């Protein structure tokens, strides 16, 4: 717990799991969950570097802004997913290709 690398390894694993969720899931809400995992991994990195390397609060500030951004993104994404469901009856993002033709 007193080494930067234990936090960095955790963050890398969290990021990889989030990326796997994003690239393999078809459900829109599940993809959103993967994005949240990735943002959490980035937050851990920012705060860990803030504690161990820079010794300032700038990493905390950036993490606050990332959390704020994640909240806004979740609200808008939920609205889009609900619209998709109303129009097509499912939220599989790989079948939402009406703009392709």
Q: Segment 18-77, which members bind another protein (CB under 8 A)? A: 18-21, 23-30, 32-34, 36-37, 40, 43-44, 47-48, 50-53, 55, 57-58, 60-61, 63-65, 67-76
Residue 4: DSSP 8-state: H
Q: Does 6 bind another protein (CB under 8 A)?
A: yes
- Shortest distance, CB of residue 100 to another protein, whole angstroms? 17
Asked whether position 95 contacts another protein by CB under 8 A, the answer is no
Min dist. Cβ of residue 40 to another protein (A): 5
Q: Are 12 and 36 in contact (CB under 8 A)?
A: no
Judged by CB under 8 A, the number of residues near another protein is: 71
Distance from CA of residue 33 to its chain's centroid?
7
Give me the phi and psi of 86, to 5 degrees please: -65, -35
Q: Which residue has the tokens 């796997």?
A: 20
Report, in Å, the least distance between residue 76 CB and another protein.
5
| Interaction of residue 16 with another protein, rule CB under 8 A | yes
Query: Are the beta carbons of 95 and 88 closer than 8 angstroms?
Result: yes
Residues in a beta bridge with 27: 92
């Amino acid at each position: 717990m007193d080494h930067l690398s234990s936090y960095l390894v955790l963050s890398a694993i969290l990021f990889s799991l989030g990326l796997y969720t994003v690239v393999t899931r078809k459900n829109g809400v599940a993809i959103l969950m993967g994005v949240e995992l990735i943002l959490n991994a980035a937050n851990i990195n920012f705060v860990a570097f803030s504690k161990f390397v820079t010794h300032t609060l700038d990493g905390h500030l950036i993490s606050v802004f990332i959390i704020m951004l994640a909240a806004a993104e979740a609200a808008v994404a939920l609205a889009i997913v609900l619209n998709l469901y109303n129009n097509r009856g499912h939220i599989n993002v790989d079948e939402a290709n009406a703009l392709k033709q």
